């Protein structure tokens, strides 16, 4: 709440990803990616994309060190509609989390903007 008494959403107000006008919910993508046996943790954001407005970007922690970007994309192609398939996959050693262990998508989005300058 600001000094004038207005409430502002700062966490999940923009979780929905809009790909070429289609709405994509990160939870759906995360659930599908987590079904892959080589994945330990996953977080999904919308990354700016010139062609579609936004594109699905997946951050994940491997359970299987041999897991590849191609395997993640193939798994998603088999289980998701085309526009929901991630265009980018980034492997991490860990994902940012809240004190209760929830993955912080806003932090991933912030890190993406800082590293690429996109969406700033």
pLDDT, one tens digit for every residue, the chain (120 residues): 778 887 665 555 568 999 999 999 999 999 999 999 999 999 999 999 999 999 999 999 999 999 999 999 999 999 999 999 999 999 999 999 999 999 999 999 999 989 888 765
pLDDT for the residue numbered 15? 84
Where are the chain's structural domains? 17-116
What CATH number is given for 17-116 in this structure? 3.30.300.30
Helix axes 26-34, 69-79, angle to 10 degrees: 110
pLDDT for the residue numbered 5? 83
pLDDT for the residue numbered 9? 58
């Amino acid at each position: 709440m600001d000094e004038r008494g207005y409430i502002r959403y700062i966490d999940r107000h923009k979780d929905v990803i809009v790909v070429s006008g289609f709405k994509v919910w990160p939870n759906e993508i995360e659930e599908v990616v987590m079904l892959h046996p080589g994945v330990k943790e996953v977080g999904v954001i919308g990354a700016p994309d010139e062609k579609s407005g936004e594109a699905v970007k997946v951050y994940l922690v491997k359970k299987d060190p041999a897991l590849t970007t191609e395997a993640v994309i193939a798994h998603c192609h088999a289980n998701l509609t085309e526009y929901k398939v991630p265009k980018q996959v980034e492997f991490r050693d860990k994902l940012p989390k809240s004190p209760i262990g929830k993955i912080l998508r806003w932090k991933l989005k912030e890190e993406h903007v800082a590293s690429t300058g996109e969406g700033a």
